[in-house]
A and B are shown apart, each in its own frame.
Chain A
Amino acid sequence: MENAIELRGVTKTFGLITANKNVSMDIRRGEILALLGENGSGKTTLMNMLGGIYFPDRGEIFVKGKQVEITSPKDSYHLGIGMVHQHFKLVDVFTAAENIALGLEEKGRFNLNAVKAKARDICDRYGFDLNLDQKVYNMSVSQKQTLEIVKVLYRGADILILDEPTAVLTPQETDKLFAVIRNMRADDKSVVIITHKLKEVLEISDRVTILRKGEVIGTVNTKEATESSLTEMMVGEKVELNINRIPPVNPKKRIEVKHLTIVDEQNVRVLEDVSFDVMGGEIFGIAGISGNGQKELLEAIAGLQKCEPDSSIKYFAGEKADQEMNLLGMTPKAIRDMGIGMAFVPEDRLGMGLVGSMDMVDNMMLKTYDNGRGIVVDRSIPRRRAEMIRKKLGVVTPGLSTPVSRLSGGNVQKVLVGRELASNPTVLMTAYAVRGLDINTSYTIYNLLNDEKKKGVAVIYVGEELDVLLELCDRILVLCGGRVNGILDARKTTKEEVGLLMTNLQERRQA
């Protein structure tokens, strides 16, 4: 079979991080290729180089046998490559047809009806269900996605790249999408699906290329692959991290979540009927592909999310953990005023956890600035605290008065984690606490979490690296599609088991 696209030795680095290393792969004509890999394995970066978003540092790209340079999305269109991003690029107040017509370089008079006619043709040919006169703001996520695909086809793409197309779809919508993808294959188009859902890979693709840590691990024919063989390639051999794990210390129930359901602004159920307990003295891991409700879950406990009526979140205070307190519907300040020491290291460090333009001292008092009487803020305690954190965690900074946005990622995280721990919490929630950090800083964080555990703190650790989750945590809750897909004993489970739960919703739950 002829190759639509060939990549040869493509490398892309961002600063010190290598996103793709010496990647070579082919996309054939008339095939459905799945690009499989964990979060951060470089799938999207790689495909963005075909979409004209990034330009490779090294390596060659051939399209239909000819070497090309793709420097903009426009170049990409002209080569017949169409990319549908995870975050849709659509104008809300325009109709579907207007969005399709945007930026077209067609000759002659502008005629929206001609655009519609041609678009309707495309819809009919592949079986898309799209109302061309509907405004985008009235569309569901799946309709928007359909529109993006039609838009790309309209521009004459015969190589389609879909980034996580099913992440936001219901099973029925997914089936519909797969049907049209098969129609496109029948029409001799090439389709690349970026995904980490094994079931779908097996269901739809002809071949699978697996990426891990920016490198191609291998390409296999889907027919010869199984879920476990793919998982193994995707997650790799178990790596010994030698994180010192002690048994849970005197565990008592601190947090109880029951039937937690959250519906977001787009009316998507980001969390559905989630129930679990967290003990003091344990590290409770939460695994899952990112965007499966982890963020909302932690924010709900911290008092930052609106939850559906039947949900319940409780905290148990006291030495014996026998004083029940309701957390649902409380603001962060109300939780603080109830005397609950809740520390929260959010995923968005500079957009939520810290104020980038403020220095370390001012960031120290983000949650405590209104302590004490009077109208003046007291900076003496925060200053001492900042000095202490700087020494204890080795924060590299020109000075305490340097805005934290100028610090490196690792140092920013040390400041944030340091502040949260300094408040002597009884509950500590961290989201992707080691993302983007070097090995040494990561270990510093692991040790800090273990220290908290020893003190009897209930630690919730949302993570993405399975090796870490398995070695650090006592129990692991796996989220998939906003539901609890199993709670595992971290000492007994395997990487493959967690990986499978992350990517496949259990049948009993789907019903």
Chain B
Amino acid sequence: MTLFMQLQGSLLASMRKLGAVVLFLGEILAQCPAAFTRPRLISAQVHNAGVLSLVIIMTSAFFVGMVIGLQGYDSLARLRQEDILGAGVALTLIKELGPVVTALLFAGRAGTALASEIGLMRATDQLAAMEVMAIDPIRRIVAPRFVGGAISVPLLTAVFNAIGILGAWFIGVYIMGVDGGAFWSQMQEYVDPSDIGEGVSKSIVFGIAASLIAVYEGYNCAPTAEGVGMATTRTVVTTSIAVLILDYMITAFLI
């Protein structure tokens, strides 16, 4: 009985949080037009969220690509189908791994940075001070960070996919000796523009979700050192769960 009650309680809590996050999104969106009048603030956040994540994204992408290349080659070689390695790798990356892994890496690198930055502003009364100075912190602080993150994730995903495919090409063609022509032509044969569309729409949704969760957790953290720490942890946990759930939902919807 208590287990049931606990379950019910945590379910209610998740629903409440979902509602709060969605309402927060509405608040941010209401301030977005004003934020767009100052593109410099947004470009600074694209720098913080995107450029600073580039190294981790590119490194991870190359190794993920190499692993898929190796595993894919090993499996396909058993079926004597090495030629479709390019197609397999590209579809795996573009449709699934690229958007998901990029969003998870983004949550770890940029999401935590966003949450702790805004959380620290909350803990040191900087947000309250802005309110008293007649400056809306959602417009001045939250909206540019949200937009910057939401712009960065699809771009990072595209970079991840491209580098990942190059990593798989390196292993498959250069090391394992798959025919380079077959690698690319089979890829072009089987990858549909709609697959790229699926990957891009996923990355857009993940970008919005990851940025939104990060700024929400930061903005609503308990104004203490402990609260900031908890906000960064929750950012990673919530984003990971949200991305995986959304991933399933989008896939089921688009397939």
Task: Decide if A and B are genuine partners.
Answer: no
Point out residues on A near B: beta carbons under 8 Å.
none
